[in-house]
Structure 1
Amino acid sequence: MGKCFSCIKIPPLSDSSSQGGVEKDKDEAMDVASVLNAQDNQNALTFVDSQSNGNSKVPGLQFSSEKRLFCPRIPPLGRTYSGESGGKRTREVSESKINALFDQYKDNVEENAIYAEGIEKLCSDLGVNPDDFKVLGFAWKLNAEQMCRFTREEFVNGLRNLKVDSVGGIRNKLPEIVAEVKTDPEKFKDLYRFTFRFGLDSETGQRILPLEMAICLWRLVFSQREPPILNRWLCFLDKHPLVRGIPRDTWNMFLNFTEAVGDDLGCYDDTEAWPSLFDDFVEYENDQMNQNISKEKDEMKEVCD
Protein backbone atom coordinates (compact mmCIF):
# COMPACT_ATOMS: atom_id res chain seq x y z
CA MET A 1 0.00 0.00 0.00
CA GLY A 2 1.18 3.51 -0.62
CA LYS A 3 2.10 5.75 2.22
CA CYS A 4 -0.33 8.42 3.49
CA PHE A 5 -0.16 11.06 6.21
CA SER A 6 -2.01 8.82 8.64
CA CYS A 7 0.66 6.13 8.27
CA ILE A 8 3.56 8.33 9.22
CA LYS A 9 4.45 7.92 12.90
CA ILE A 10 6.52 10.50 14.72
CA PRO A 11 8.59 9.00 17.52
CA PRO A 12 7.82 10.59 20.92
CA LEU A 13 10.43 12.86 22.40
CA SER A 14 12.17 11.69 25.52
CA ASP A 15 11.66 13.66 28.71
CA SER A 16 15.31 14.56 29.00
CA SER A 17 15.56 15.83 25.44
CA SER A 18 12.38 17.91 25.72
CA GLN A 19 13.44 19.52 28.97
CA GLY A 20 16.88 20.21 27.61
CA GLY A 21 15.45 21.78 24.48
CA VAL A 22 13.19 24.03 26.48
CA GLU A 23 16.00 25.19 28.70
CA LYS A 24 18.20 25.78 25.67
CA ASP A 25 15.44 27.83 23.98
CA LYS A 26 15.05 29.95 27.13
CA ASP A 27 18.77 30.63 27.28
CA GLU A 28 18.87 31.64 23.61
CA ALA A 29 15.85 33.93 24.04
CA MET A 30 17.49 35.65 27.04
CA ASP A 31 20.70 36.14 25.06
CA VAL A 32 18.80 37.70 22.14
CA ALA A 33 16.82 39.97 24.48
CA SER A 34 19.98 41.21 26.19
CA VAL A 35 21.57 41.99 22.83
CA LEU A 36 18.47 43.88 21.64
CA ASN A 37 18.27 45.87 24.88
CA ALA A 38 21.90 46.85 24.56
CA GLN A 39 21.33 47.96 20.98
CA ASP A 40 18.23 49.94 21.98
CA ASN A 41 20.17 51.73 24.71
CA GLN A 42 22.97 52.57 22.30
CA ASN A 43 20.47 53.77 19.68
CA ALA A 44 18.69 55.92 22.26
CA LEU A 45 22.00 57.58 23.21
CA THR A 46 22.84 58.09 19.57
CA PHE A 47 19.35 59.56 18.95
CA VAL A 48 19.79 62.07 21.78
CA ASP A 49 23.28 63.00 20.59
CA SER A 50 22.01 63.56 17.07
CA GLN A 51 19.33 65.91 18.37
CA SER A 52 21.77 67.89 20.47
CA ASN A 53 24.25 68.11 17.57
CA GLY A 54 21.53 69.36 15.21
CA ASN A 55 21.89 66.47 12.73
CA SER A 56 18.18 66.31 11.97
CA LYS A 57 17.24 68.38 8.93
CA VAL A 58 13.87 66.93 7.93
CA PRO A 59 10.80 68.44 9.68
CA GLY A 60 9.01 65.84 11.76
CA LEU A 61 11.88 63.33 11.71
CA GLN A 62 15.13 63.05 13.72
CA PHE A 63 18.01 61.16 12.07
CA SER A 64 21.13 59.70 13.71
CA SER A 65 24.35 60.18 11.76
CA GLU A 66 25.57 56.70 12.72
CA LYS A 67 22.53 54.41 12.58
CA ARG A 68 20.09 56.21 10.24
CA LEU A 69 17.39 55.70 12.82
CA PHE A 70 14.35 57.95 12.76
CA CYS A 71 11.48 58.67 15.09
CA PRO A 72 8.34 60.32 13.67
CA ARG A 73 6.88 62.99 15.89
CA ILE A 74 3.40 62.30 17.20
CA PRO A 75 1.11 64.98 15.75
CA PRO A 76 -0.54 67.21 18.36
CA LEU A 77 -4.09 66.31 19.25
CA GLY A 78 -6.70 68.68 17.86
CA ARG A 79 -8.47 71.02 20.22
CA THR A 80 -11.90 70.09 21.38
CA TYR A 81 -14.71 72.52 21.96
CA SER A 82 -17.83 72.17 24.01
CA GLY A 83 -20.79 71.53 21.77
CA GLU A 84 -18.60 70.07 19.03
CA SER A 85 -20.66 68.18 16.46
CA GLY A 86 -19.71 66.44 13.24
CA GLY A 87 -16.14 67.70 13.44
CA LYS A 88 -17.29 71.31 13.24
CA ARG A 89 -16.48 73.86 15.89
CA THR A 90 -19.50 75.41 17.58
CA ARG A 91 -18.93 78.53 19.62
CA GLU A 92 -19.95 78.56 23.26
CA VAL A 93 -22.06 81.66 23.97
CA SER A 94 -21.63 83.62 27.17
CA GLU A 95 -24.75 84.21 29.24
CA SER A 96 -22.99 87.02 31.09
CA LYS A 97 -22.38 88.76 27.74
CA ILE A 98 -26.05 88.32 26.81
CA ASN A 99 -27.14 89.89 30.09
CA ALA A 100 -24.66 92.73 29.61
CA LEU A 101 -26.07 93.28 26.10
CA PHE A 102 -29.60 93.30 27.51
CA ASP A 103 -28.56 95.93 30.08
CA GLN A 104 -27.47 98.25 27.26
CA TYR A 105 -31.05 98.49 25.99
CA LYS A 106 -33.24 97.86 29.04
CA ASP A 107 -35.60 100.47 30.37
CA ASN A 108 -34.18 102.95 32.89
CA VAL A 109 -36.88 102.07 35.41
CA GLU A 110 -37.83 98.50 34.59
CA GLU A 111 -34.76 96.31 35.12
CA ASN A 112 -36.11 93.24 33.32
CA ALA A 113 -37.62 94.60 30.10
CA ILE A 114 -36.61 96.39 26.92
CA TYR A 115 -39.37 98.71 25.72
CA ALA A 116 -39.95 100.76 22.56
CA GLU A 117 -37.06 103.17 23.06
CA GLY A 118 -34.56 100.39 23.73
CA ILE A 119 -35.87 98.33 20.82
CA GLU A 120 -35.46 101.30 18.48
CA LYS A 121 -31.86 101.71 19.68
CA LEU A 122 -31.20 98.00 19.18
CA CYS A 123 -32.68 98.16 15.67
CA SER A 124 -30.48 101.18 14.91
CA ASP A 125 -27.40 99.26 16.02
CA LEU A 126 -28.52 96.29 13.89
CA GLY A 127 -29.01 98.54 10.87
CA VAL A 128 -32.70 97.69 10.39
CA ASN A 129 -35.99 99.57 10.73
CA PRO A 130 -38.25 98.61 13.65
CA ASP A 131 -41.02 97.69 11.18
CA ASP A 132 -38.73 95.46 9.10
CA PHE A 133 -39.65 91.80 8.58
CA LYS A 134 -36.29 90.85 10.10
CA VAL A 135 -37.35 92.37 13.42
CA LEU A 136 -40.54 90.32 13.36
CA GLY A 137 -38.45 87.21 12.71
CA PHE A 138 -36.12 88.13 15.57
CA ALA A 139 -39.10 88.60 17.93
CA TRP A 140 -40.38 85.19 16.79
CA LYS A 141 -37.06 83.60 17.70
CA LEU A 142 -37.24 85.26 21.12
CA ASN A 143 -40.84 84.02 21.47
CA ALA A 144 -41.73 87.53 22.63
CA GLU A 145 -45.06 87.82 24.39
CA GLN A 146 -46.08 91.18 22.91
CA MET A 147 -44.94 94.02 20.69
CA CYS A 148 -42.58 96.75 21.90
CA ARG A 149 -41.31 94.66 24.80
CA PHE A 150 -38.58 92.07 25.26
CA THR A 151 -38.26 90.66 28.75
CA ARG A 152 -34.88 89.62 30.12
CA GLU A 153 -35.95 85.98 30.11
CA GLU A 154 -37.10 86.15 26.48
CA PHE A 155 -33.92 87.94 25.42
CA VAL A 156 -31.48 85.65 27.23
CA ASN A 157 -33.20 82.40 26.24
CA GLY A 158 -33.67 83.55 22.65
CA LEU A 159 -30.04 84.56 22.13
CA ARG A 160 -28.85 81.37 23.81
CA ASN A 161 -30.93 79.33 21.36
CA LEU A 162 -29.60 81.42 18.46
CA LYS A 163 -26.07 80.86 19.82
CA VAL A 164 -25.14 84.56 19.73
CA ASP A 165 -24.14 87.02 22.43
CA SER A 166 -23.39 90.25 20.55
CA VAL A 167 -24.99 92.79 18.23
CA GLY A 168 -22.84 91.50 15.39
CA GLY A 169 -23.98 87.95 16.06
CA ILE A 170 -27.64 89.00 15.94
CA ARG A 171 -27.04 90.97 12.73
CA ASN A 172 -25.55 87.90 11.07
CA LYS A 173 -28.46 85.73 12.16
CA LEU A 174 -31.21 87.94 10.73
CA PRO A 175 -30.73 86.87 7.05
CA GLU A 176 -30.69 83.23 8.18
CA ILE A 177 -34.05 83.68 9.91
CA VAL A 178 -35.54 85.25 6.77
CA ALA A 179 -34.21 82.43 4.58
CA GLU A 180 -35.58 79.86 7.01
CA VAL A 181 -39.19 81.04 6.82
CA LYS A 182 -39.01 81.65 3.06
CA THR A 183 -37.95 78.07 2.31
CA ASP A 184 -39.80 76.12 5.00
CA PRO A 185 -43.64 76.37 4.85
CA GLU A 186 -44.03 74.92 8.34
CA LYS A 187 -41.68 77.49 9.83
CA PHE A 188 -43.56 80.27 8.05
CA LYS A 189 -46.84 78.90 9.37
CA ASP A 190 -45.42 79.00 12.89
CA LEU A 191 -44.24 82.59 12.38
CA TYR A 192 -47.63 83.55 10.93
CA ARG A 193 -49.53 82.25 13.94
CA PHE A 194 -47.02 83.84 16.30
CA THR A 195 -47.67 87.21 14.63
CA PHE A 196 -51.31 87.27 15.76
CA ARG A 197 -50.36 86.72 19.42
CA PHE A 198 -47.50 89.17 19.10
CA GLY A 199 -49.93 91.92 18.04
CA LEU A 200 -52.28 91.49 20.99
CA ASP A 201 -52.05 93.55 24.16
CA SER A 202 -51.53 90.75 26.65
CA GLU A 203 -51.63 93.08 29.66
CA THR A 204 -55.28 93.96 28.95
CA GLY A 205 -56.23 90.42 27.97
CA GLN A 206 -56.95 91.40 24.37
CA ARG A 207 -58.20 88.51 22.22
CA ILE A 208 -59.11 90.22 18.95
CA LEU A 209 -56.71 92.21 16.81
CA PRO A 210 -57.98 95.71 15.99
CA LEU A 211 -58.53 95.93 12.24
CA GLU A 212 -55.87 98.59 11.67
CA MET A 213 -53.28 96.49 13.55
CA ALA A 214 -54.33 93.33 11.69
CA ILE A 215 -53.89 95.05 8.30
CA CYS A 216 -50.42 96.30 9.26
CA LEU A 217 -49.36 92.87 10.50
CA TRP A 218 -50.72 91.11 7.39
CA ARG A 219 -48.65 93.43 5.21
CA LEU A 220 -45.60 92.81 7.39
CA VAL A 221 -45.79 89.02 7.73
CA PHE A 222 -46.54 88.57 4.00
CA SER A 223 -43.78 90.94 2.88
CA GLN A 224 -41.64 87.86 2.03
CA ARG A 225 -44.37 85.49 0.78
CA GLU A 226 -47.16 87.72 -0.53
CA PRO A 227 -50.24 85.85 -1.83
CA PRO A 228 -51.85 87.21 -5.02
CA ILE A 229 -55.14 88.10 -3.31
CA LEU A 230 -53.62 90.01 -0.37
CA ASN A 231 -54.18 93.55 -1.63
CA ARG A 232 -57.77 92.80 -2.66
CA TRP A 233 -58.44 91.24 0.76
CA LEU A 234 -57.06 94.24 2.63
CA CYS A 235 -58.94 96.65 0.41
CA PHE A 236 -62.16 94.73 1.13
CA LEU A 237 -61.53 94.90 4.90
CA ASP A 238 -60.80 98.60 4.74
CA LYS A 239 -64.15 99.25 3.03
CA HIS A 240 -66.23 96.80 5.07
CA PRO A 241 -68.46 98.84 7.40
CA LEU A 242 -68.94 96.15 10.04
CA VAL A 243 -65.46 94.73 10.52
CA ARG A 244 -63.71 96.26 13.52
CA GLY A 245 -61.35 93.45 14.49
CA ILE A 246 -59.95 90.07 13.44
CA PRO A 247 -60.34 87.03 15.73
CA ARG A 248 -57.70 84.32 15.94
CA ASP A 249 -59.63 81.75 13.86
CA THR A 250 -60.08 84.20 10.99
CA TRP A 251 -56.41 85.12 11.11
CA ASN A 252 -55.25 81.51 11.10
CA MET A 253 -57.71 80.39 8.41
CA PHE A 254 -56.69 83.18 6.05
CA LEU A 255 -53.36 81.46 5.43
CA ASN A 256 -55.20 78.29 4.39
CA PHE A 257 -57.60 80.41 2.35
CA THR A 258 -54.79 81.98 0.31
CA GLU A 259 -53.43 78.52 -0.51
CA ALA A 260 -56.84 77.09 -1.45
CA VAL A 261 -58.43 79.74 -3.67
CA GLY A 262 -55.63 80.37 -6.14
CA ASP A 263 -54.95 83.64 -7.90
CA ASP A 264 -58.48 84.51 -9.01
CA LEU A 265 -60.73 82.89 -6.35
CA GLY A 266 -61.79 80.39 -8.98
CA CYS A 267 -61.14 77.47 -6.65
CA TYR A 268 -63.25 78.81 -3.81
CA ASP A 269 -65.78 76.29 -2.50
CA ASP A 270 -68.55 77.94 -0.49
CA THR A 271 -69.66 74.55 0.89
CA GLU A 272 -66.50 74.30 2.99
CA ALA A 273 -66.45 75.61 6.54
CA TRP A 274 -64.83 78.98 5.84
CA PRO A 275 -65.50 81.95 8.11
CA SER A 276 -68.44 84.00 6.87
CA LEU A 277 -66.11 86.94 6.28
CA PHE A 278 -64.47 84.96 3.48
CA ASP A 279 -67.86 84.37 1.86
CA ASP A 280 -68.48 88.12 1.98
CA PHE A 281 -65.09 88.75 0.42
CA VAL A 282 -65.68 86.38 -2.49
CA GLU A 283 -69.12 87.87 -3.09
CA TYR A 284 -67.63 91.35 -3.02
CA GLU A 285 -64.95 90.32 -5.53
CA ASN A 286 -67.55 88.75 -7.84
CA ASP A 287 -69.61 91.94 -7.73
CA GLN A 288 -66.53 93.95 -8.56
CA MET A 289 -65.78 91.62 -11.45
CA ASN A 290 -69.35 91.82 -12.80
CA GLN A 291 -69.28 95.59 -12.50
CA ASN A 292 -66.02 95.68 -14.42
CA ILE A 293 -67.44 93.43 -17.12
CA SER A 294 -70.59 95.59 -17.43
CA LYS A 295 -68.46 98.71 -17.51
CA GLU A 296 -66.27 97.27 -20.25
CA LYS A 297 -69.38 96.32 -22.28
CA ASP A 298 -70.79 99.84 -21.95
CA GLU A 299 -67.48 101.36 -23.03
CA MET A 300 -67.30 99.05 -26.05
CA LYS A 301 -70.88 99.95 -26.97
CA GLU A 302 -70.11 103.66 -26.82
CA VAL A 303 -67.09 103.16 -29.06
CA CYS A 304 -69.14 101.19 -31.60
CA ASP A 305 -71.92 103.80 -31.65
Structure 2
Amino acid sequence: MPSRRRRREPSNDETGAKKSRSQMQKREIATEFSKKRCLVWFHEYTGANEETLGPEGMEKFCEDIGVEPENIVMLALAYKLDAKNMGFFTKEEWMKGMTELQCDTIEKLQNRLEYLRALLNDPPTFKNIYRFAFDFARDKDQRSMDMDTAKAMLSLVLGKNWQLFSFFHQFLEQSKLKVINKDQWCNILEFSRAIQPDLENYDEDGAWPVMLDEFVEWLKEQRRAAGNTEMLPAT
Protein backbone atom coordinates (compact mmCIF):
# COMPACT_ATOMS: atom_id res chain seq x y z
CA MET A 1 0.00 0.00 0.00
CA PRO A 2 1.21 3.44 -0.73
CA SER A 3 1.95 5.46 2.33
CA ARG A 4 -0.73 7.94 3.41
CA ARG A 5 0.15 11.43 2.25
CA ARG A 6 0.42 14.02 4.93
CA ARG A 7 -1.81 17.01 4.55
CA ARG A 8 0.33 19.77 3.07
CA GLU A 9 0.61 22.88 5.14
CA PRO A 10 -0.01 26.06 3.17
CA SER A 11 3.15 27.88 2.23
CA ASN A 12 3.90 31.42 3.27
CA ASP A 13 3.22 32.53 -0.30
CA GLU A 14 -0.24 30.97 -0.30
CA THR A 15 -1.06 32.43 3.10
CA GLY A 16 0.08 35.84 1.88
CA ALA A 17 -2.02 35.50 -1.26
CA LYS A 18 -5.13 34.70 0.76
CA LYS A 19 -4.50 37.68 3.03
CA SER A 20 -3.87 39.85 0.00
CA ARG A 21 -7.18 38.79 -1.59
CA SER A 22 -8.97 39.44 1.67
CA GLN A 23 -7.41 42.88 1.98
CA MET A 24 -8.29 43.65 -1.62
CA GLN A 25 -11.91 42.72 -1.03
CA LYS A 26 -11.98 44.99 2.02
CA ARG A 27 -10.51 47.84 -0.03
CA GLU A 28 -13.09 47.32 -2.76
CA ILE A 29 -15.87 47.44 -0.22
CA ALA A 30 -14.35 50.54 1.37
CA THR A 31 -14.13 52.30 -1.96
CA GLU A 32 -17.73 51.69 -3.03
CA PHE A 33 -19.47 54.98 -3.72
CA SER A 34 -21.18 56.45 -0.67
CA LYS A 35 -23.68 59.32 -0.91
CA LYS A 36 -23.08 60.06 2.75
CA ARG A 37 -19.32 60.35 2.20
CA CYS A 38 -19.97 62.46 -0.91
CA LEU A 39 -22.15 64.87 1.08
CA VAL A 40 -19.55 65.12 3.86
CA TRP A 41 -16.96 65.90 1.17
CA PHE A 42 -19.20 68.66 -0.25
CA HIS A 43 -19.52 70.29 3.18
CA GLU A 44 -15.74 70.40 3.54
CA TYR A 45 -16.00 73.40 1.19
CA THR A 46 -19.16 74.98 2.63
CA GLY A 47 -20.72 75.69 5.97
CA ALA A 48 -22.56 72.82 7.61
CA ASN A 49 -25.98 74.04 6.48
CA GLU A 50 -25.02 75.75 3.23
CA GLU A 51 -26.51 74.54 -0.03
CA THR A 52 -23.97 76.10 -2.39
CA LEU A 53 -20.22 75.77 -2.84
CA GLY A 54 -19.01 79.29 -3.70
CA PRO A 55 -15.80 80.90 -4.98
CA GLU A 56 -13.77 80.50 -1.78
CA GLY A 57 -14.73 76.86 -1.43
CA MET A 58 -14.12 76.36 -5.15
CA GLU A 59 -10.57 77.64 -4.79
CA LYS A 60 -9.89 75.15 -1.97
CA PHE A 61 -11.58 72.36 -3.95
CA CYS A 62 -9.38 73.03 -6.99
CA GLU A 63 -6.30 73.12 -4.78
CA ASP A 64 -7.24 69.77 -3.24
CA ILE A 65 -7.68 68.01 -6.58
CA GLY A 66 -4.59 69.68 -8.04
CA VAL A 67 -6.30 71.58 -10.86
CA GLU A 68 -6.15 75.33 -11.54
CA PRO A 69 -9.62 76.96 -11.54
CA GLU A 70 -8.94 78.23 -15.08
CA ASN A 71 -8.10 74.75 -16.40
CA ILE A 72 -10.52 73.58 -19.07
CA VAL A 73 -10.99 70.28 -17.23
CA MET A 74 -12.99 72.27 -14.65
CA LEU A 75 -15.40 73.20 -17.44
CA ALA A 76 -15.77 69.51 -18.29
CA LEU A 77 -16.48 68.80 -14.63
CA ALA A 78 -19.06 71.59 -14.48
CA TYR A 79 -20.66 70.08 -17.59
CA LYS A 80 -20.90 66.66 -15.92
CA LEU A 81 -22.43 68.31 -12.83
CA ASP A 82 -24.78 70.32 -15.09
CA ALA A 83 -23.81 73.40 -13.08
CA LYS A 84 -25.79 76.55 -13.80
CA ASN A 85 -23.49 79.29 -12.55
CA MET A 86 -19.75 79.71 -13.10
CA GLY A 87 -17.85 79.59 -9.80
CA PHE A 88 -20.62 77.78 -7.94
CA PHE A 89 -21.80 74.19 -7.41
CA THR A 90 -25.08 73.62 -5.62
CA LYS A 91 -25.47 70.63 -3.34
CA GLU A 92 -27.98 69.14 -5.79
CA GLU A 93 -25.60 69.56 -8.73
CA TRP A 94 -22.72 68.10 -6.72
CA MET A 95 -24.62 65.06 -5.52
CA LYS A 96 -26.14 64.27 -8.90
CA GLY A 97 -22.91 64.76 -10.85
CA MET A 98 -20.56 63.08 -8.42
CA THR A 99 -22.95 60.13 -8.15
CA GLU A 100 -22.78 59.75 -11.93
CA LEU A 101 -18.98 59.99 -11.78
CA GLN A 102 -18.93 57.66 -8.74
CA CYS A 103 -16.67 60.07 -6.88
CA ASP A 104 -16.95 60.70 -3.15
CA THR A 105 -13.32 61.57 -2.34
CA ILE A 106 -10.53 63.73 -3.68
CA GLU A 107 -8.58 60.67 -4.83
CA LYS A 108 -11.47 59.24 -6.81
CA LEU A 109 -12.04 62.49 -8.66
CA GLN A 110 -8.31 62.77 -9.40
CA ASN A 111 -8.55 59.30 -10.94
CA ARG A 112 -11.39 60.56 -13.17
CA LEU A 113 -9.59 63.63 -14.48
CA GLU A 114 -8.24 61.73 -17.50
CA TYR A 115 -11.81 60.68 -18.32
CA LEU A 116 -12.92 64.32 -18.15
CA ARG A 117 -10.04 65.37 -20.41
CA ALA A 118 -10.99 62.62 -22.85
CA LEU A 119 -14.46 64.18 -23.14
CA LEU A 120 -12.81 67.33 -24.48
CA ASN A 121 -11.08 65.31 -27.20
CA ASP A 122 -14.31 63.73 -28.43
CA PRO A 123 -15.71 66.14 -31.08
CA PRO A 124 -19.46 65.55 -30.43
CA THR A 125 -19.03 65.78 -26.66
CA PHE A 126 -16.76 68.82 -26.98
CA LYS A 127 -19.47 70.51 -29.03
CA ASN A 128 -21.93 69.92 -26.19
CA ILE A 129 -19.45 71.25 -23.64
CA TYR A 130 -18.77 74.29 -25.84
CA ARG A 131 -22.50 75.06 -26.08
CA PHE A 132 -22.88 74.45 -22.35
CA ALA A 133 -20.12 76.99 -21.67
CA PHE A 134 -22.21 79.86 -23.08
CA ASP A 135 -25.08 79.49 -20.62
CA PHE A 136 -22.70 78.54 -17.83
CA ALA A 137 -20.60 81.70 -18.14
CA ARG A 138 -23.12 84.40 -19.11
CA ASP A 139 -24.89 86.59 -16.60
CA LYS A 140 -28.24 84.95 -15.99
CA ASP A 141 -30.12 88.23 -16.33
CA GLN A 142 -28.67 88.67 -19.84
CA ARG A 143 -29.34 86.62 -22.96
CA SER A 144 -25.91 87.43 -24.39
CA MET A 145 -22.39 87.10 -22.99
CA ASP A 146 -20.40 90.26 -22.31
CA MET A 147 -17.31 90.61 -24.47
CA ASP A 148 -14.70 90.30 -21.72
CA THR A 149 -16.22 87.02 -20.55
CA ALA A 150 -16.60 85.83 -24.14
CA LYS A 151 -12.94 86.48 -24.94
CA ALA A 152 -11.82 84.64 -21.81
CA MET A 153 -14.08 81.66 -22.48
CA LEU A 154 -13.13 81.47 -26.16
CA SER A 155 -9.49 81.48 -25.17
CA LEU A 156 -10.21 78.59 -22.81
CA VAL A 157 -12.16 76.41 -25.27
CA LEU A 158 -10.57 77.29 -28.63
CA GLY A 159 -7.27 78.98 -27.86
CA LYS A 160 -5.13 75.87 -28.26
CA ASN A 161 -6.99 74.18 -31.09
CA TRP A 162 -7.98 76.87 -33.60
CA GLN A 163 -5.15 78.14 -35.76
CA LEU A 164 -6.88 81.44 -36.38
CA PHE A 165 -7.74 82.08 -32.76
CA SER A 166 -5.06 84.69 -32.09
CA PHE A 167 -6.31 86.68 -35.10
CA PHE A 168 -9.92 86.32 -34.03
CA HIS A 169 -8.98 87.55 -30.56
CA GLN A 170 -7.29 90.59 -32.12
CA PHE A 171 -10.41 91.18 -34.19
CA LEU A 172 -12.59 91.15 -31.08
CA GLU A 173 -10.15 93.48 -29.31
CA GLN A 174 -10.58 96.16 -31.97
CA SER A 175 -14.26 95.48 -32.62
CA LYS A 176 -17.05 97.68 -31.31
CA LEU A 177 -19.03 94.58 -30.36
CA LYS A 178 -20.05 94.63 -26.69
CA VAL A 179 -21.64 91.18 -26.43
CA ILE A 180 -21.82 87.82 -28.21
CA ASN A 181 -25.15 86.04 -28.52
CA LYS A 182 -25.64 82.29 -28.52
CA ASP A 183 -26.04 82.00 -32.30
CA GLN A 184 -22.74 83.82 -32.81
CA TRP A 185 -21.11 81.68 -30.13
CA CYS A 186 -22.20 78.41 -31.75
CA ASN A 187 -21.18 79.58 -35.22
CA ILE A 188 -17.68 80.48 -34.05
CA LEU A 189 -17.08 76.81 -33.27
CA GLU A 190 -18.49 75.70 -36.63
CA PHE A 191 -16.36 78.30 -38.40
CA SER A 192 -13.22 77.13 -36.57
CA ARG A 193 -13.87 73.57 -37.70
CA ALA A 194 -14.99 74.21 -41.26
CA ILE A 195 -12.92 77.11 -42.59
CA GLN A 196 -9.31 76.60 -43.61
CA PRO A 197 -6.67 78.95 -42.11
CA ASP A 198 -6.04 80.48 -45.55
CA LEU A 199 -9.81 81.18 -45.85
CA GLU A 200 -9.82 79.61 -49.33
CA ASN A 201 -13.03 77.69 -48.66
CA TYR A 202 -14.87 80.61 -47.11
CA ASP A 203 -18.11 81.32 -48.97
CA GLU A 204 -19.05 84.99 -48.90
CA ASP A 205 -22.63 84.00 -49.68
CA GLY A 206 -22.72 81.46 -46.84
CA ALA A 207 -25.08 81.80 -43.89
CA TRP A 208 -22.42 82.92 -41.39
CA PRO A 209 -23.28 85.65 -38.87
CA VAL A 210 -22.28 89.17 -39.87
CA MET A 211 -19.63 89.14 -37.13
CA LEU A 212 -17.76 86.33 -38.92
CA ASP A 213 -18.12 88.02 -42.31
CA GLU A 214 -16.54 91.09 -40.73
CA PHE A 215 -13.76 88.98 -39.22
CA VAL A 216 -12.91 87.51 -42.63
CA GLU A 217 -12.82 90.95 -44.23
CA TRP A 218 -10.68 92.29 -41.38
CA LEU A 219 -8.23 89.37 -41.61
CA LYS A 220 -7.94 89.65 -45.40
CA GLU A 221 -7.18 93.35 -45.04
CA GLN A 222 -4.58 92.66 -42.35
CA ARG A 223 -2.94 90.07 -44.58
CA ARG A 224 -2.88 92.39 -47.58
CA ALA A 225 -1.27 95.09 -45.47
CA ALA A 226 1.30 92.64 -44.09
CA GLY A 227 2.15 91.07 -47.42
CA ASN A 228 -0.34 88.18 -47.00
CA THR A 229 1.91 85.28 -45.97
CA GLU A 230 3.23 87.04 -42.86
CA MET A 231 -0.19 86.66 -41.23
CA LEU A 232 -0.77 83.02 -42.06
CA PRO A 233 -0.75 80.83 -38.94
CA ALA A 234 2.20 78.52 -38.45
CA THR A 235 1.59 74.94 -39.64
Shared fold (TM-score, shorter chain, > 0.5): yes
TM category (shorter chain) comes to 0.7 to 0.9
Which of 216, 225, 232 aligns to 2:167? It is 232
Secondary structure of 1:104 counterpart: coil
SS of equivalent residue, structure 1 residue 293: coil
Shift, 1:164, TM fit: 1.1
> 2:144·2:179 contact (CA, 8 Å) conserved in 1?
yes
TM-score (norm 2): 0.82
Provide runs of 4+ in structure 1 moved above 6 Å: none
Aligned match for 1:221, one of 157, 174, 183: 157
Deviation at 1:197, TM superposition (A): 0.9
Q: Give 5+ residue unaligned stretches, structure 1.
A: 1-49, 60-77, 80-88, 297-305
Given the two structures, how large is their TM-score scaled by the length of structure 1?
A: 0.64
Write the deviation string for residues 69-128 of structure 1: whole angstroms up to 9, x where unpaired.
xxxxxxxxx99xxxxxxxxx9x6310001100111112x497100000000010111112
Matched, 1:186 2:121: no
Partner of 1:65: none
Alignment partner of 1:151 is 2:103: no
Please say which of residues 108-117 and 187-196 is displaced more in the overlay.
108-117
Q: Report the residue type matching 2:70 in the other structure.
A: D
Aligned partners of 1:173 and 1:155: how far apart in 2? 15
Aligned to 2:26: none
Consecutive unaligned residues of structure 2, counting only runs of 5 or more, are 11-20, 23-28, 231-235
1:9-36: CA deviations, max 9, x gaps?
xxxxxxxxxxxxxxxxxxxxxxxxxxxx
Aligned match for 1:268, one of 202, 207, 224: 202
**What residue number does 1:243 align with?**
177
Code of the residue aligned with 2:34 in structure 1: it is S
How far apart are the structure 1 equivalents of 2:174 and 2:219? 12
Aligned residues: 209
Within 5 A, what are the aligned runs for 1:6-45? none
Q: 1:128 aligns with which of 54, 57, 67?
A: 67
Write out aligned runs for 1:61-140 (5 A). 92-106=32-46, 108=47, 111-140=50-79
> Of residues 219, 222, 225 in structure 2, which corresponds to 1:285?
219
Amino acid corresponding to residue 161 of structure 2 in structure 1 = E
Which deviates further from its counterpart, 257-266 or 117-126?
A: 257-266
Larger Rg: 1
Q: State the shift of 1:206 in Å.
A: 1.7
AA aligned to 1:229 is L
Pair 1:281–1:110, CA change in 2 (3 A):
farther
Q: Is the 2:86–2:136 contact (alpha carbons within 8 Å) kept by the matching residues of 1?
A: yes
Q: Which whole-Å CA distance do the structure 1 matches of 2:66 and 2:120 have between them?
A: 21
Higher RCO (CA 8 Å, separation ≥ 6 residues): 2
